[in-house]
Amino acid sequence: MSGLKGQLTYAAYAAGWGAVKKLPEPVAVRLGRTIADIAWKRRGKGVRRLESNYARVLPDASPERLTELSRAGMRSYLRYWMESFRLPAWSRERIKDGFDVKDVHHLTDGLAAGKGVILALPHLANWDLAGAWVTTKLDTPFTTVAERLEPAKLYDRFVAYRESLGMEVLPHSGGTAFGTLARRLRDGGLVCLVAERDLSASGVEVKFFGDATRMPAGPALLAQQTGALLLPVTLWYDDSPVMRGRVHPPVDVPESGSRAEKTSVMTQALADAFATGIADHPEDWHMLQRLWLADLEPRSGPAEGEQP
């Protein structure tokens, strides 16, 4: 059954890449909204978890408000997928015009200084589109990591997709990614990491919307080890076809303290920046998995499945 499930999952994604990118954009938008509404009405595990996570972001929200928000969240999530399936078919001009970002000077100034830049993002809106904009509009390649997915051919498909957008993709597992990322940064390159959910269960504990969770230590450690600039980025949608975003001010390396203490302070600063963006646009936060430590169930097997 596990093998069959993997084959069906791959077939669904392959159909999306093959068919959705051929649709006229208005048709793809309507299709995404229809699928989102069907999934929302069924109230499966992912929808219920999304609603539970929104309750932590907005603790004073009424049940009616959370229900409304989860519907908007699923529509935003399916907009992400419709865009991602279609991105390889977008023209360079469509990609350039599809993203509007505030305070991008933090990024461009850092790259011009030649010291390397780390962009750290939560699962807000469409980071693939933001990445394609960086490689197209700024003509800047970058390196990222991806969690291995099952079946393996699905992981290979995602890697090929992101490489087609100008990204260098490293596997999350295997222990070699950190060293490669550090070399890219020392050479003055750009690294982009989705960084609000720890996959190893050994990340840095932070306060996030008032409760404890763990976030990856990698961005802070890379900044300390290489001298690269660490920049939080948040993204959101509005009613237009253009995604919006903001590059936040740099997270500085503390002048004193042990490496662990510095990493803790820096990761908390990332969490605070992410929380600002999520609180402003909660419906665009696509967190359909458990995140807070109080919600995690003890387990000995693999972590709950991560969205790509």
267 vs 278: CA distance, rounded Å: 16
Q: What is the DSSP letter of 82?
A: H
Domain boundaries, the chain: 1-293
Say which of 51, 83, 106, 123 is annotated catalytic. Answer: 123
Q: What is the pLDDT of residue 9?
A: 66
Alpha helices per DSSP H over the chain: 2-19, 25-42, 45-57, 63-86, 92-97, 105-113, 127-136, 152-164, 177-186, 218-226, 259-280
Say which of 51, 168, 196, 283 is annotated catalytic. Answer: 196
Contact 59, 66 (CB under 8 A): no
Q: What is the pLDDT of residues 147-182, one digit of tens each?
A: 765 667 766 777 788 888 889 999 876 568 999 999
196 is catalytic: yes
Q: What is the pLDDT of residue 201?
A: 65
Q: What is the pLDDT of residues 1-56, one digit of tens each?
A: 455 566 656 666 666 667 888 888 899 999 999 999 999 999 999 999 999 999 99
Structure-block tokens of residue 52:
């539970």
Q: What is the pLDDT of residue 305?
A: 41
Q: What is the pLDDT of residues 118-152, one digit of tens each?
A: 999 999 999 999 999 999 999 999 999 987 656 67
The Cβ-side half-sphere exposure at 185, using a 13 Å CA radius, reads 27
123 is catalytic: yes
20 vs 84: CA distance, rounded Å: 10
Higher-confidence residue: 92 or 151? 92
CA distances from 252 to 87, 231, 263, 270, 293 (A): 34, 9, 11, 10, 27
Nearest to 36 by CA among 294, 293, 241, 286: 286
Q: Which pTM does this prediction carry?
A: 0.90
* CATH class of the domain comprising 1-293: alpha beta
